[in-house]
Structure 1
Amino acid sequence: MSWDVLLLRIPEGVTAIDQIPDDIPATPLGSRDDILAAISRVAPEANLSDPTWGQLNGEDWSMEFNIGSDDPVDSVMLHIRGGGDDMENVMFGVAGALNCQVIDCSGGDVLTPENGSSGWRAFQEYRDQVIGT
């Protein structure tokens, strides 16, 4: 079970994914090489040997970067597992390097460093309840 967040370039001022008009075309984040370079700058220890699916292990968490095979890349999905808040440094760091926003897939909200922890903590509480720990 993972907490999934989407890195996506969306119009300024949007606070939830359902506020994006359907007729606005996706703005690419960049070429695959640009994406891999941004991840490497923020998290040099990330395993990017598969350029479509990267992996990073923190002390108490893991993160997968679902980059996909399209080039240019429109979005990157992060699959995050574990606990602890230091993974947010990577999540928001990569988003900043790509000049995009972080969207919590469980609720569709745009996350910021100020509100990002609430979605992560809610996921952990739900996960712990479901698996019985």
Structure 2
Amino acid sequence: MNTILVVDDNTNICYMMKHYLEEMKYDVITSHSGMDALEKVKNLKPDVMLLDIVMTGMGGLEVLRRVRLFDKDIGIIMISGLLDNTFSKTAFENGADEYITKPFDLDHLHECILVDLIMRSKQ
């Protein structure tokens, strides 16, 4: 079973994604802060991280940069309510695999996860 780390400071969004992904048969871990997410990536080694960009404290782009310093293998899908192309460009430049804007369709999110997992299994 693949493990997904959902990182968002909005607990309702975390719960919604966790519930949906568990129904899709993933093992789901949640985190509500950047520092906690870093620790969970290091210690629990999830396969994919769904990472919100705008969070209280350490934002998603900083989490992305720090994770890529020690883990090149985890799939990172950035999630944001921001439609500004600057954020998506910066995310991709720093190692994001995908960028999804809110509101998003959960089935589309699942497709992105599947594509990421398939691509990583071929490496």
More helix by share: 2
Larger Rg: 1
In the superposition, the TM-score normalised over structure 2's length comes to 0.30
In the superposition, the TM-score normalised over structure 1's length comes to 0.29
